[in-house]
Structure 1
Amino acid sequence: MTDPLGEVIIESVRNGTYLKVTAVHVASGTEATAVGPAMEPKAVERLAVAKLKRLLNVS
């Protein structure tokens, strides 16, 4: 089973107690960003990827 989203680059930047995660779809260059608590990096990453999927209309 392959991921319908394809290749995604994840970038995380911490600013104090906040974490900004940007997910970039390699094939299209589309970006989605999420900001959340630095204590929950995986949750913020999941949110950024979910926003990217919504932007690309991928389930």
Structure 2
Amino acid sequence: MSREERPGEIYLEFRPIGQQVKVTAIDAATGFEVSVFGPASAAQDDLKRIAVRKLRRRLEQEGLAAQNRPDPTLY
């Protein structure tokens, strides 16, 4: 069963590594991905927000932000 990606859809992966958490954000449309690290004690929403912001910045730098307008309801 497959489904179509929606513009702005972002996949998130949280992976604990010792006392830290690695958060990877992947843009579904382009396949670009970025990673951030934070303390394991940090709120998951804060780490998610940082990763998504970093991914959006990367898409802007690549000139892809206009065609992949992020849907604020998707994470």
Q: TM-score, normalised by structure 1?
A: 0.82
Structure-2 separation of matches of 1:33 and 1:15 = 13
Runs of 4+ in 1 over 4 A off after TM superposition: none
Larger strand share, 1 or 2: 1
Instruction: Report how many aligned residue pairs link the two structures.
Output: 55
Question: Can you list the C-alpha shifts for 1:12-50, whole angstroms capped at 9, x where unaligned?
Answer: 000121000000000000001100011112212111111
RMSD: 1.6
Q: Secondary structure at the match of 2:49?
A: helix
Choose which of 40, 46, 54 in structure 2 pairs with 1:43: 46
Counterpart residue type for residue 15 of structure 1: I
Structure 2 residue ranges without an equivalent (≥5): 1-6, 70-75
